[in-house]
Chain A
Amino acid sequence: MKRLLSLIIGLLAVCGLLAYTSQSLEKSSGSTGSKVLNLYNWGDYIDPNLLTKFQKETGYHVNVETFDSNEAMYTKINQGGTHYDLAVPSEYMVSKMKRAHLLQPLDKSRLTGWGNFDQQFLNQPFDRGNRYSMPYFWGTLGIVYNDKMVKASEVQHWDDLWSPKFRDKIMLIDSARDIMGMSLVTLHKSMNTTDPQTLLAAEKRLNTLAPNVKAVVADEIKMYMIQDEAPLAVDWSGEAAEMLAGNSHLHYVVPREGSNLWFDNLVIPKTAQHYNAIYAFLNFMSEPKNAAQNAEYIGYATPNKKAKALLPKSVRDDQEFYPDQKTIDHLQVYRDLAPNIVELYNDRYLEFKMHH
Chain B
Amino acid sequence: MFESFLLPVLRVSTPLILAALGGMWCERSGIVQIGLEGFILVGSFFGAVATLSTMNPFTGFLAAGLAGMVLSVLYGLVVLRYRSNQIVAGTAINLFAMGIPPFFSKIWYDSTGSTPPIPTAAQFQVAPLWITFAIVVLSFIIYHYSRFGLRLRFSGEHPEALQSAGVSVRLKRWQGILMSGFLAGLAGGTLSTYLSSSFIRNMSAGRGFIALAAVILGKWKPIPTVLACLLFGATEIAQIRLQGVVLWGTDPVPVQWIQILPYFITIVVLAGAVGRSNSPKALGNS
* A and B are partners in one complex rather than unrelated chains: no
Interface residues of A (CB under 8 A from B): none
B interface with A by C-beta (< 8 Å): none
